[in-house]
Amino acid sequence: MNLSEEDYRLLQKAADILENPSLTAKITDFIGTPVEKAFQYLPAKWNERIGGITQAALRKALEISIYSMKNMRGKFSSNRFHKIISGASGAVGGAFGLAALSIELPVSTTIMLRSIADIARSEGEDINSVEAQLSCLEVFALGGKSEKDDSAESGYFTVRLTLAKSISEITKYITKKGIAEEGTPLLIRFIVKVSTRFGIQVSEKAAAQAVPLIGAAGGAIINLLFIDHFQNIAWGHFTIRRLERKYGQEVIRNEYENIMRKINITLK
């Protein structure tokens, strides 16, 4: 099945967003120094703490934000509204520094996950389904490369494939038995996988906010960059899922890979 001209254009745009995450560059432009240098302002053993902070933030966000989507109506997502309240939470983080991150991050992550769910709904997802809700959480794993990635392991469909089994197992379990205590380990393992990749972007955000004199205003802007980044990733992800429902997964993946091959040939 051939894609329409409009759908092919959307797929090209989605591929460009998903294969070229730009959060690091945007933060660097704002703080005026490479993010790598900003890491010097983070406390010792920061990497040991970030895993626990991001996992807690994702668990809390999942508990709160998705369920608030059930009564949402309308065709378009409320990206601007979510940016405003995310900026406000970032101002708190900027004012109080890293000490506030364990409080601010669950708040900003909840806001972002609700925004992601809003985008998913606007692209035709049944946000009440377990599979769609987990796909919203999956966006945090698609927002950038892990430190362990090489070029063969960092592509959009590669990351989706690594998470697909977990999403399928959790969906089947909860659909059959509901959310029960014995099903929690499946969800926790999924959150750990997502947080491993999400933690890279959280560390970059924290490093930027740790730069001396960044202040409340700077913290707000960094959070705006943060949520804008994940809103873009969410749009790309759920646009592809919508096209998969329309044309089939194999058709869309083949077209996506053809687009990436053309881009690579052009770059060479």
Tens of pLDDT along 193-248? 999 999 999 888 888 877 876 766 677 788 888 888 999 999 999 999 999 999 99
Distance CA(4)–CA(114), nearest Å, equals 31
Greater pLDDT, 207 or 255:
255
Distance CA(250)–CA(30), nearest Å, equals 40
pTM: 0.85
Contact 21, 233 (CB under 8 A): yes
Which parts of the chain are beta strand (E)? none
Q: CA torsion sign, 99 to 146 to 159 to 224? A: positive
Find the mean pLDDT for residues 10-19: 94
Tens-place pLDDT, residues 39-50: 888 877 777 788
| pLDDT value, residue 267 | 43
259-265: Cβ within 8 A, 24+ apart: 259/11, 259/12, 259/15, 260/15, 260/19, 260/155, 263/15, 263/16, 263/19
| pLDDT value, residue 156 | 94
